[in-house]
Amino acid sequence: MDYQMLWTFIMNNCHVIVLVWFAVYFTVKILLAEKYMGLFLLPSGIVYFAIFLFLTLFGRQSYPMMQYELSFLWEYRLAFAGHREYIWQILDNMLLFVPMGILYGELRKIGRPKRHKEDYECGRTGWIGVFLTGALASLTVELLQLVFRRGLFEFDDILNNAVGMAAGYTLYKLTERIKRRIWR
């Protein structure tokens, strides 16, 4: 099997792959019994993290020196100045962490007893925790990129990834609400 062709396909179609993943997740979550979620989440989670590691570390070019940009919101300034490629870069970084936010919500639920309706609401501490978890995961990736010289360390990516994880967690919470309304 030509792995380079496979990774090129994944990199060129990662937006579609994430959207299809979410559509399948939503369908399994809403239409099928909860017992089938594990059959979907375990294999798709493993594939997601393999793709994630490839896109963020292993599939990147190695540089002779560490690459970093310590100016905060530099991508946003360039995006607002009319450089469209930075808009896509910001959105790509957010999209990359959306499945992680969904998986985070599903994993937090495992082993917990059924809760009352009011317990499903996520207060400020919950959202801050999700955002900080996304920022910590992103910081870990950014530091690994810096140490192994496999990409550009930047604070903008940490922010974008944390926002993406919070967006994924929001989608998880919305699917939970929809499921409860349909199956009550």
Please count the structural domains in the chain: 1
Long-range contacts of 53-57 (CB under 8 A, 24+ apart): 54/7, 54/10, 55/10, 55/11, 55/14, 55/96, 56/96, 56/141, 56/144, 56/145, 56/151, 57/141, 57/144, 57/145, 57/148, 57/150, 57/151
The confidence band for 33, taking pLDDT boundaries of 50, 70 and 90, is low
**Predicted TM-score of the model (pTM):** 0.84
Choice between 139 and 106, residue whose per-residue pLDDT is larger: 139
The pLDDT tens digits for 81-127 are 999 999 999 998 999 999 999 999 988 877 565 654 444 445 545 78
First to last CA, the chain: 47
Range of the domain at 110: 3-183
Residue 183 pLDDT greater than 50, yes or no = yes
Choice between 27 and 35, residue whose per-residue pLDDT is larger: 27
